[in-house]
Structure 1
Amino acid sequence: MGICDFDLRFIFVVMGWPGSVHDMRVFSDVRNKYGYKFPHPPPGKFYLVDSGYPNRPGYLSPYKGTKYHLPEYRNGPMPRGKKEMFNHAHSFLRNVIERSFGVLKMK
């Protein structure tokens, strides 16, 4: 599990879970084991999380059942409606964590 800022810097990392474990299980375990070190979002701020996490205070996941991934928008129509607009912006911003892992793997 990794949390990064918009400058592609990891601010919290926990390793050791197999990729087959559900995101929410990892998240719950990390919060229980590292609660005192876990960097919860400050009031009024949010972590963008993927659809494996529920919406809760401080955590924003995309709308389910609505177009989400950036490639879905590249050759098709632009986002329509509030949910698609939100998901498009969410995907664009959440792409930072994907790029952060990409940069880390290159080192």
Structure 2
Amino acid sequence: MNYDGLLTPFRGQRYHLSVWKNGAHPLLDQEYFNMKHSQARNVINRCFGLLKMRWGIPPNTAWYSRKTVYRIILACALLHNFVRTYMSMDPMEYLVEDYMKEDNSDIIEVMETSTARNFFRYELAIEMYTTCLQSHAN
């Protein structure tokens, strides 16, 4: 289900980073897209995990307006960056690994799929894979 603000991985294609860990390469544009999607998802999960641990962002933000939630996340990210800038070692960094092992899945509201976003995802996957192949050819 792709809609404005969300692009999902392709079904039926390899997705998890462990598949490519040992030097395997994506063979299709959709696999390449899934690999990049998985990498981005891991980074985002780590970032939110660290922000939740450090600043106690509430797991259920349904009590707040969307604008307030954005402001809370932005404020926490800015404070995090401030701490990282002025501390030689971040004492919270090692805790992220343990946090990521926990099941922290949130409930997702019902969304409507968009044919235009599905087409955009296919075109993006082709463009990303083509660019990757061209960069390796040079």
Bin for the TM-score computed over the shorter chain: 0.3 to 0.5
Normalised by the length of structure 2, the TM-score is 0.35
Give the strand-richer structure, 1 or 2. 1
Structure with bigger gyration radius: 2
Give the helix-richer structure, 1 or 2. 2
Structure of greater relative contact order (alpha carbons < 8 Å, 6+ residues apart): 2
Normalised by the length of structure 1, the TM-score is 0.43
